[in-house]
Structure 1
C-alpha cells in the first residue's frame, strides 16, 4: 500500500530531516514510526501526502508515484496531523461528520460513522460542545475520529494519543486495530514506546533522520528476548550514574552484577540494564545491597522490552533533556 524507497529530505546543505529512509506498509498492517523529537517522523508523513517534496528517493501509494501526483496521494490517504484540529465554533460530531462527507461518504454513512466513533471513543458527553470549550484530550480524539470516519486506503496518525487519558487511549488503540482489520494500511507516529509495542505489527526506529532498526517488536528484541531487564530507581541522578558505572565495572560473580558497562543506561534517576539469566542472582544481591545502603529507592526485574531496545539504539537523551525523555518513555 505504501512504499518508501531511499527517501532523502534535505532542508539545507548537510542538514537532512530524512536520510535514506526505506520502508513499506501493507494493507491490514499497523506500522509504527518511533523516534525522538526531530528524528524525521512527521517530515516523512508530510512527504507522503505532498505537503513536502523529497530531495531524492521515491514514494508510492497503491503502486502509484505520490511525488509526481500528490493529489492522488491525498485521495488515497487520510491523516491526523500532529497539530490540533481547528475546532473553534464546531462540535466534535459536526467536525467528524463533515470530514466524512468531504472524504466521500454519503449523508447516512457519515452520520452512522460519526455515531460509531463518538461511542467507541467515549466522547458522547462532549459530542455537541464547541471546540473552544473542549479539553486537549477530547480535541485530540476528535481529530483522530475525523481521520478514521471515512478512511483512505492508507491512514496516517501523528501522535494520536497526545493529551488523551489512559482509558480512552486504550479505546483509541482498539480503533486503530479495527482500521487495519478492515483492510486499511495504518502508519502512525508515536513517542509512547510501551503502547506501541502492544499496538503495532512492525515498526521503524528513526534517529537523526535515519532508520536504525526495523521489524516486528519480537524481531527487534532478538537475542534479548531471553534476557531480563533490571531497572533501578536511585535516590538522585548522580547516584544513578555512579550505579551504572559500578554495574558495568564490577567483576562477575563478586560484588557487582556484571553484564558489561555498555548494558547500563541512565535516564534521570533510573538505571536500566539487561541481565543474562545466569547473572540474575548476583544482580539481585547487588541491587538489594544498594537499597540497604540507602542509595536505591526501588528496583525490579522484567522481560526486556521495546523500550530498552529503543533507549539503547537512540541513547538516553535522543536530542531531548533527561526529563523530556523520561516522560516520553513512561507516558
Structure 2
C-alpha cells in the first residue's frame, strides 16, 4: 500500500450505474484537504451513501477515480478500510459490550496502543458527557447515547479520512453541541472529515465547505457563505400555522415558500420587510397563525432553491400562490 502524498481526498468523475440501469452517482467530482470538514448534503436518495460506499471499498464505481493522497481507494479497497474511519447511519451493534469497552476495543483493532487508546477513550467519554453510561451495556442504552458511543468508537483512533453519516441522529440538543465540537477537533488534528447529512441548519455551523448532491449529481459546491450569497438581498419570513387551520394564501411578494409541518417559510426581498411583517400580523390576528419571525436567509434557503426540497422533505411552491 502506498499512502504517501499530501493527504488530499479526491473523487474524480465518479459514476455508479446498477445492473437495473439506475444511475446512483453521475460524474461526481470533489476534493477535501486534511484539516477540512467537508459537508455532503442532499435529500434522502440523492446518492450520498452510494458515494460513501465506493470510498470505503464496499462498492466499485462504474467510472471515475477515488484517491486519498497517493493511494487509489478503488484499486486497493483494503487500504481504503485501513485509511478511512466510518460511522454509518445504522446504530453500531454493541448490545453485549459496555460503552467504554466498545470504544477501547475499536481503538485496539485500529492498531492503537492500549494506554493511548484508553486515555483517548476517557477523553471522549468526558467530552461527550457519557460518564454515567461508561460501564453500561449497549442493550440498555438509548438511541442517542448509542450514537455518541458509536462516534467515539470511530474517532478514538481515527483514520486519515473520517466519514460521518448523519452523526447527530437521535442525539439530544445538549450533547449534539458537544459532538459538533469533537467533529471540529478532528479537522483541527489534521483528518479529512466528510460529513454526510440532510440536516442543513446544523451543517452550516460545522463545515468549511460543502457539496450539494441531488439525483446523483453534484449541483453546487462552495463555502456556506458563498452558497448563501445566492440569496443576498433577501430575508426569511417564518410563520407558525395554528393547529387545525389551513395554510394561508401566500402574498404576491413571496418569492418562494416551503411548508414543513405547521411551519411556513417564505423568502422575501429586503425591501418588502415592512409589508411582510404586516401580512404576518394580519394572519395572526385572524387566528390562522400563532407567531412569526423575520431573519436573514440561511443555507437551507439556498438548499431549497437548488434541490426543490427543505431538510425535512417539504416541497416549495405547493401551498398556494
- Partner residue of 1:37? 44
- Partner residue of 2:287? 294
Counterpart Cα distance in 1 of 2:245 and 2:21: 36
Q: How much has 1:227 moved relative to structure 2?
A: 2.2
Cα distance change, pair 95–17 in 1 and its aligned pair in 2 (3 A): same
- Partner residue of 2:299? 306
* Counterpart among 275, 278, 285 of residue 278 in structure 2: 285
Matched, 1:267 2:260: yes
1:225/1:303 contact within 8 Å kept: no
Residue segments in structure 2 that go unaligned for 5+ positions in a row: 1-7, 316-321
* Counterpart among 19, 22, 36 of residue 26 in structure 2: 19
1:75/1:152 contact within 8 Å kept: yes
- Partner residue of 1:329? none
Q: How much has 1:133 moved relative to structure 2?
A: 1.1
Greater mean deviation of Cα atoms: 292-301 or 112-121: 292-301
Q: Counterpart of 2:220 in 1: which secondary structure? A: strand
Q: Counterpart of 1:264 in 2: which secondary structure? A: strand
For 1:57-206, list aligned pairs within 5 A: 57-206=64-213
- What is the total number of aligned residue pairs between the two structures? 308
Counterpart Cα distance in 1 of 2:310 and 2:228: 21
Residue segments in structure 1 that go unaligned for 5+ positions in a row: 249-257, 323-331
Greater mean deviation of Cα atoms: 271-280 or 198-207: 271-280
Deviations 1:162-199 (Å, cap 9, x if unpaired)? 11111111111000001100111100112222111101
Q: How much has 1:318 moved relative to structure 2?
A: 8.0
RMSD between aligned alpha carbons?
1.9
Q: How much has 1:259 moved relative to structure 2?
A: 4.5
Counterpart Cα distance in 1 of 2:189 and 2:59: 29
* Counterpart among 50, 56, 67 of residue 63 in structure 2: 56
- Partner residue of 2:5? none
For 1:233-248, list aligned pairs within 5 A: 233-235=240-242, 239-240=246-247, 242-244=248-250, 247-248=251-252
Task: Give me the TM-score of the superposition, normalised by structure 1.
Answer: 0.88
Where does structure 1 differ by over 3 angstroms across 4 or more consecutive aligned residues?
235-239, 316-322
Counterpart Cα distance in 1 of 2:82 and 2:184: 22
